[in-house]
Each structure stands twice: as structure tokens, then as C-alpha cells.
């Protein structure tokens, strides 16, 4: 196990708050994360933000190949030294939002997985980039802020259920794997974390709706979540016919006109989008 404090001291490294650097130091948690990814020799694993390579080494010991993308150039020498014994690791110094992952992973015939201790400040942009992009991943195993993980895996009619939940469930089957105490990091963050596992899927019925219009409906529905759907969605200019058309659509689906967005399942949103598309024709 790599000793984080020793490596930081050896290389004179200072962790940068603006990059959300909180290094995981608990080897048992690291092993649990890699186990959640079910990493095996046929896998190509992309690790976002490897830091000094503590988790990278555990992944590399099991995977066919690892691509470790680290934005902080000051960490690259430590990464290279700590991972020198793993010829299957490729280190990329770059911003994950700008790196061409599609080209980097092209040609790999086995499963592609992404495993990461994501910086809190960039969690949602990275997750949405992976979900909506063209990289053919099979599994995402992400450690994020506990509240965000709960939102990703939430069920309808709960406080955590929202637009992010619907987006995640549109592209994948999410599962909250386990929580991680803030005491497992250097420096210690202000909140606890959780590991969420997303398995890619094609949502039944999604081929029958326009994806752009579907997400317009979802975002508008949750835009004012204290309001009923009739008031939050019915006032949107893209809903032709306004509240009356929305009232008709809800009636045809057997949904109360007093319903709120968080009460609708993802399939309810799909069906509602179909109905509103018909009224827009």
C-alpha cells in the first residue's frame, strides 16, 4: 500500500482545494471499490483522478489495461514512480472533460469500465459527459458525495428523487454500493462519501421518444418541484396547448392532475413525453 503522507512529503506536494483533491488512504475501501467494479483481465479501466496511484495499483493488478487520467501535472512524477511495476498502466496528464476518451479506448474488445474517486466540484459534469457521450463503457463505479449518490439511486416519491435520478436511470441501472466515512481521506472533507455503481442499459421504450424533448420535459417538471406538474410543466412554451393539453395527457395516462414531478417513475415520464409529442403534432 502506498503511504500517502510519505509520498506527499517526498515530492513536496501540496493538495489543491480548487481541484477537489482528497486522497483515499483506507486500503480496505480501495479494495471494496475495485471489487464493486468486478475488475478482471479482459477489462480496460479508465481511472479519473488517480492522484498518487493508490487505487490505480489495485486496479492494475486485476485489469488488462488501465488508462489513468490526472489533471495535476505536479502528481505525474509520483504516479509514474508508484506505478512503474505495472506496464499495463497508461498515464495521461489532462482534464477528463477535454481528453478524447473515445480515441484512447478505441479498439479494445473487452468491457470498458470507469472507476473514480471523483472530485465533488466536477461530479455532475463528468457523470453527464460519460452518460451522454460516445464512449462505450459497460460499468461506472464512482465515489461521490453521499448526497449525490443518494440522488442518483433514489426511488420516486422520495426527497432525493429528481432530474439527476431520471437522467442516470435513462442510461443505466444505478446501485448505491456502500458509504465511506470522511475519515478515510487526506485531507478530510467536510462530508461523507458513497460509492455508486452504474451498469449501462438501453431503457425499454426510450427508442419511441425524442430524447431531447424527453429531457426538456424532465428538467421543466423538476424546475419548480414544490408545484404540481400541471403548474411547473403546463406553463412551458414547448408544451403546445399548455395546461389543458397537459391535463388531457395526464388523464389519458391515468395520472392525477395534482401529481408532482417526484411522484413519476422514469416510465411515467416516457409515456408522458409520448403523449405530449402526439399533441404537438
Beta-bridged to residue 185, according to DSSP, are: 24
CA distance 214 to 155: 19
Give the number of C-alpha atoms closer than 13 A to the C-alpha of residue 175, restricted to the C-beta side: 10
Nearest C-alpha neighbor of 261 from the set 172, 163, 119 = 163
Phi, psi for residue 84 in degrees, rounded to 5: -60, -30
In whole angstroms, what is the distance from residue 191 CA to residue 121 CA? 13
Dihedral pair phi/psi, residue 219, rounded to 5°: -60, -45
pLDDT of 53 reads 92
Consecutive 10-residue averages of pLDDT for the chain (281 residues): 60 58 87 97 97 94 98 92 96 96 94 94 94 94 96 96 97 97 88 97 91 96 91 92 94 95 97 84 46
Domains of the chain and CATH, by start: 4-200 (3.40.50.150), 206-280 (1.10.8.100)
Q: What is the pLDDT of residue 94?
A: 96
pTM of the model: 0.90
pLDDT value at residue 281? 46
For residue 14, the 8-state DSSP code is: -
Full DSSP string of 153-191: T--TTSTT-SHHHHHHHHHEEEEEEEEE-GGGEESPPSS
Amino acid at each position: 500500500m502506498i503511504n500517502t503522507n510519505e509520498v506527499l512529503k517526498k515530492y513536496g506536494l501540496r493538495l489543491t482545494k480548487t481541484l477537489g483533491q482528497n486522497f483515499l488512504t483506507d486500503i480496505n475501501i480501495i479494495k471494496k471499490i475495485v471489487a464493486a467494479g468486478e475488475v478482471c483481465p479482459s477489462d480496460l479501466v479508465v481511472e479519473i483522478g488517480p492522484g498518487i496511484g493508490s487505487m490505480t495499483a489495485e486496479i492494475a493488478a486485476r485489469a488488462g489495461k488501465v488508462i489513468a487520467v490526472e489533471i495535476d501535472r505536479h502528481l505525474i512524477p509520483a504516479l509514474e514512480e508508484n506505478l512503474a511495476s505495472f506496464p499495463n498502466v497508461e498515464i495521461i496528464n489532462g482534464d477528463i472533460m477535454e481528453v478524447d476518451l473515445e480515441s484512447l479506448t478505441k479498439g479494445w474488445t473487452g468491457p470498458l469500465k470507469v472507476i473514480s474517486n471523483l472530485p465533488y466540484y466536477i461530479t455532475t459534469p463528468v457523470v453527464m459527459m460519460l452518460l451522454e457521450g460516445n464512449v462505450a463503457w459497460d460499468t461506472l463505479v464512482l465515489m461521490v458525495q453521499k448526497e449525490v449518490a443518494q440522488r442518483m439511486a433514489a426511488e420516486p416519491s422520495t426527497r432525493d428523487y429528481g432530474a439527476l435520478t431520471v437522467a442516470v436511470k435513462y442510461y443505466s441501472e444505478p446501485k448505491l454500493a456502500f458509504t465511506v466515512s470522511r475519515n478515510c481521506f487526506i485531507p478530510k472533507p467536510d462530508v461523507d462519501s458513497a460509492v455508486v455503481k452504474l451498469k449501462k442499459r438501453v431503457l425499454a421504450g426510450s427508442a419511441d421518444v425524442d430524447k431531447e424533448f424527453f429531457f426538456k420535459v424532465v428538467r421543466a417538471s423538476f424546475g419548480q418541484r414544490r408545484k404540481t406538474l400541471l403548474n411547473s410543466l403546463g406553463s412551458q412554451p414547448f408544451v403546445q396547448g399548455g395546461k389543458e393539453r397537459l391535463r388531457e395527457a395526464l388523464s389519458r395516462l391515468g395520472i392525477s392532475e395534482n401529481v408532482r414531478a417526484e411522484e413519476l417513475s422514469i416510465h411515467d415520464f416516457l409515456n408522458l413525453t409520448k403523449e405530449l409529442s402526439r399533441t404537438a403534432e
